[in-house]
Amino acid sequence: MSNRMWGGRFASGPAEIMEEINASIGFDKRLAPQDIRGSLAHVAMLGTSGVLPAADVDAITAGLKSVQAEIEAGTFAFRRELEDIHMNVESRLTEIVGPAAGRLHTARSRNDQVATDMKLWVRDTLDGLDAQAAALQQALAEKALRHAGTVMPGFTHLQSAQPVTFGHHMMAYVEMLGRDRGRFRDARARLNECPLGAAALAGTGFPIDRHATAAALGFDRPTANSLDSVADRDFALEALSAASICAVHLSRFAEELVVWTSAQFGFVRLSDGYTTGSSIMPQKRNPDAAELVRAKAGRIVGALTGLLIVMKGLPLAYSKDMQEDKEGTFDALQALSLCLAAMTGMVRDLEPVAETLAKAAGSGYATATDLADWLVRELNLPFREAHHVTGRLVGAASAKGVGLEALSLEEMQAAEPRITDAVYAVLGVENSVASRISYGGTAPGNVRAQAERWLAQLSGGEG
């Protein structure tokens, strides 16, 4: 039996393995809302352009809405032999309205149809991710505001470096997510051109109004080149790139949560809602939600890499290789959505252990830089000389097994005779963080100001 969708060119149906490799309905059925939205806009334009009579337009429109209702109700029967969402919708439309359904495909191809569907889906999804990232920013900023003065160790090379505040650390991720949201919005703005009406690759001879279709679907304009219209998957690549960078940010935070919740660190606590137990060790509380966020970053980055490799050798215009854009994109953006939701929940749930953080903040001679800065400010030492003096004092304290603040004034003066007892004012971690008043620094007042600024922007729909 010939394939009824292909007409008379093929005398027999596809081989079984051809049907297996060719069918995409198993994953592209999620494009049904976008496919019907595009078809409704297309048929309306065909009517206003005089390509189709009003009776056909009305019948097709009513039929598409019936199909949409069946899909939303879960009663639509998706058929694999019809390959994809486009043919499944068209076949059911034909059953509902009869031969008039065949006129819907006038002046378009599955090539521009699927490009439009994918753009609509990616656009919708980017809007959702932007909103989720904003919710995570709000959770982080609220936590930062409550802990603007909670002292903790700051690290470089995962070694104690200088004291910071827990709020300052949370605000670092607010800034990262702000850049992520900027990338989501940039990707959305660039993709917002409508391919519909480009047809297979060369445009169409019918007197269609592509500007009207683009406007009806919320695009800024139609795409300007019919070849590029159907060959382009930059919009998916860019969305995956933005998603990958965001996933890396979430993974870095997840890694910190895994470390911080360990018994060896004990910096923060997560409730039972975001941890799991062990099947054999009853004492365990595992940060599985954070670990899974960390792992899913690999899937998201992998989807970007996979699609780049699919696209890298394709000549213009459309090739069936491009069907492989869907599963990876669907999976990656859904995974990122789940990660954002999980991380927002963890941020709202976690509580820093202030006593442990403060103790850790003072370890590892974290105020050594404050001592060096004091020598520069008060004694007018060149910084390199102050660095050497401080290094000798750290060595002396380390040999005694004490902190810098435990050295006597005489021991301090053995390294630099002009040191006075005023130096002890800069050696406490609270004094250290309070002194970091430069813009972007960790001083509690700075942190509060930044958190309040972000919360005001987020409450106003900005940021």
The backbone torsions φ and ψ at residue 353, rounded to the nearest 5 degrees and listed phi first, read: -95, 95
Residue matched to tokens 């019936």? 66
Active-site entry in 12, 157, 408, 438: 157
Q: What span, in angstroms and rounded, lies between the C-alpha atoms of 273 and 351?
A: 13
Burial class (CB in 10 A: 0-12, 13-18, 19+), 69: exposed
Burial class (CB in 10 A: 0-12, 13-18, 19+), 267: buried
Q: What span, in angstroms and rounded, lies between the C-alpha atoms of 129 and 122?
A: 10
The angle formed by the CA atoms of residues 245, 248 and 251, to the nearest 5 degrees, is 155
Query: Is residue 249 annotated as a catalytic residue, yes or no?
Result: no
* Integer angstrom CA distances of residue 240 from 293, 349, 374, 436: 16, 29, 48, 38
Burial class (CB in 10 A: 0-12, 13-18, 19+), 425: exposed
Minimal CA–CA distance to 407: which of 419, 356, 152?
A: 419
Q: What span, in angstroms and rounded, lies between the C-alpha atoms of 3 and 19?
A: 11
Q: What span, in angstroms and rounded, lies between the C-alpha atoms of 397 and 412?
A: 10
Residue pair 148/167 in contact (Cβ under 8 Å)? The answer is yes
The angle formed by the CA atoms of residues 135, 140 and 143, to the nearest 5 degrees, is 125
* Length of the chain (residues): 463
Query: Is residue 278 annotated as a catalytic residue, yes or no?
Result: yes
Residue pair 409/419 in contact (Cβ under 8 Å)? The answer is yes
Residue matched to tokens 């004012």? 425
Active-site entry in 2, 262, 271, 278: 278
Residues labelled catalytic? 157, 278
